[in-house]
Each structure stands twice: as C-alpha cells, then as structure tokens.
Chain A
Amino acid sequence: MLRADALQAIYPELEDRIVVTIMGAVAVELYMLGHRHNFFYLEHAMGLASSMGLGIALSIPEQKVIVLDGDGSLLMNLGTLSTMARYRPGNLLHIVFDNESLLSVGGFPTATGTGTDLAGIARASGVPQVIEANTCESLKDAVTRALASNTLTTIVSKVEAVGPKSFHMDLPLLENRFQFKRCLEKMRQK
C-alpha cells in the first residue's frame, strides 16, 4: 500500500477532525490532498506528534484528535505509548504509517524492518485497541471503527517506502501554527 493512497482513502474522515502529522512525506502527502486549518504539520521535534495529540485530546475532550505518526518518529518516543495508554483519552486516534525506513533522510532502514513490532509494543504498553491494517480498505474500516468506538486506538499500517517527489509545502510553519490555534479555539467553543 502506498501511504499517499492510504491517506486518500481516509481523507474524508480527516477533513473535519483535528489532525497532527509528523514531518516529511506524511505531512506533504496530506497537504497535497488539501490543506485545512484543522491540520497541523509538526515539521521537527521527531516523536512528539503523539504527545501533542495527547495534549490536545486532554484539552478538548469533545473533539476527536487524529495523529499521523511514522515508525521512525514513534521509535524515538516509545514512552508516548505508555503515557497515552495510561490516560487513554477516547477521543484520540493514533495512526502509524510504518514504511520500515527513515525515508526523508535517504531511506535508512528502521528497526521495524528487522522485526520490531510497533503494534505489539502498543498492545504491551496498554493501548486498549490496537489494529493492524495493511490495505486501504482495511485502514478505512479501522479508522471508522476506532472513531465510533470512543476508545484510544493505535492503528499500524505497513506502507511502501515511497514518498513525494518534492517536500515543498507553501505554508510557513508559523502560519500553520496560528491558523491551527485559531481553528482549535473555534472547535472548542462548539
């Protein structure tokens, strides 16, 4: 499965939700599908998209928060799984695209390519619902199920180590930051 196709398949579910992505290919591919003010692309601080998502989910319990993570990023902050599991906000959905590679820095293999099982780590960390979905159809179904269940969910999706031709996004970091904050303030009032 290509991550770009996977994102396209779940885009209708993302469109009106609070979404936090990691840097690199995930950010660009979501941006290219159509930027929304409720999307935040964390262009650095690898590993912390899920921690940001947790902070937002705890602050706005009435809204669903979706984090788009990656294997390289999650491996940098495995403790996030135990922290999310500890507080298990039902409005948080954590999707991990696992391409077994640090793609944007040259495709160096990560430990998931040599046997590290992120879904297994999430389960063992206490995440109450962990789903592995390796096709667009199963991913779409898993996202729908997770959002309906009001249960903290980690979905791990194996994807090919293929990214966009260009990583350029016509959106300065701070513009994204202030847009996103204003948007969240409105969603919080609803």
Chain B
Amino acid sequence: MPVSVTSSRLIYDALKACDVRIISALPETWLVHLIRMADEDPEMTLVRIAKEEEAIGISAGAHLAGVNSALLMQNHGFLAAINPIVSLALLYKIPLLMLISYRGHMGEKDPWQTQGGMVTEPVLRALNIPIWHLNNPGDIDRRLKDAQTLAHASLHPVAVLLSRELMWED
C-alpha cells in the first residue's frame, strides 16, 4: 500500500512533540500507519470510534480534563461531524486539532471521493476554521505545533489538511 510511512512517522512524532496523549480515529486508507503507530505506542490512548461525531465529544472531554488530544479523520468524517463541531466545539469554545486526510482533491482517482474533496475547504471556511495545508515533510513539525498553539490560544478548532503529495507515494 503506497501510503507514506515516512510522512506518517514525521506526523506521529510531531503529535508526540505537541504532547498529544489521546488520539481518536476512524480508519481510512491514508491514516493506516498513523493509527498503527498510535496503537503500538504505550504512552498513547487510541480511541477507535464508530463515527467521527464521537471524536468531538471525546476531545472536548479530554480538553476539559486538561489533556491534549488530536483527531484523525477523513474529510468525509469531518463532514459527518459538523453538528458537534458547531454545537459543542464552537459553542463551548473547545480547541480541536483535526488532522484531515484530504481525499477527492487533485490526483484523486476514486470518483466517490470527489464531491467531498470539492466542499471540504468551503465548509471549513464557512465554519471559520483556520486551515493549514500539509504538503511538504519539512513543514510538518512547525505547522502541527503552530496549529495546536492557535487552537489553544483561540479556544477554537483548527484543521490540518493532509495532502496526497504528503501521504501517497505513487
């Protein structure tokens, strides 16, 4: 499977450097290595959810309990979680570090991913959620740290979009 192990490792290590202790995730192709790394790390609590909405609640609970968390989701999972993002995270000023695999964008071969790809950024912008694109391995450390810093300073969700260039090795 040509999902980049190197980029996944860099992202995982950057999350550890951000003192992330809880990762909630729903499996998706580009996230397989990240989820495996979280699962194999005794210092990490990996919560495998049934639907992405749950992840918003889990991260909200972790934040109120003083623990840093991150969410791994596909962009369709983000779309599935919009109501709790609005009526929990935005309403109650909860920071979220959302790592979203950006399916359905340039280079996508699967027709079923394309509609979600086209609406991801417009929906994030409509929700006033700041976006960082992760395209280059060299940006990973700095951009994840900065995304978390902004989330905590603003008490607001932030989105880090994991691109095909970063995650997929054709």
Interface residues of A (CB under 8 A from B): 20, 40, 42-45, 47-60, 77, 79-80, 82-83, 86-87, 173-174, 177, 180-181, 184-185, 188
Contact = CB atoms under 8 A, between A and B. Distances in A.
| Leading 3 A-B pairs by shortest Cβ distance | A55-B61, A51-B57, A79-B50
23 contacts: A45-B57, A45-B83, A45-B87, A45-B88, A45-B91, A48-B53, A51-B56, A52-B61, A54-B61, A55-B22, A55-B62, A55-B69, A58-B45, A58-B62, A59-B67, A77-B54, A79-B54, A80-B54, A80-B57, A82-B50, A181-B64, A185-B66, A188-B66
A58 B22 contact: yes
Interface of B: 21-22, 45, 47-51, 53-67, 69, 83-84, 87-88, 91-93
B88 A48 contact: yes
Contacts of A47: 53
By secondary structure, the A interface counts as: helix
Contact of B64 (A40, A45, A173): A40
A180 B94 CA distance: 13
Contact of B65 (A48, A51, A83, A184): A184
B61 A83 contact: no
A57 B60 CA distance: 12
B14 to A, nearest CB: 21
Given A51-B56, A55-B57, A60-B65, A79 B47 contact: no
Nearest to B51: A79
Contacts of B61: 20, 51-59
Given A52-B88, A77-B51, 10 more contacts: A44-B87, A49-B57, A51-B57, A52-B57, A54-B57, A54-B58, A55-B65, A56-B64, A59-B65, A184-B64
B84 A173 contact: no
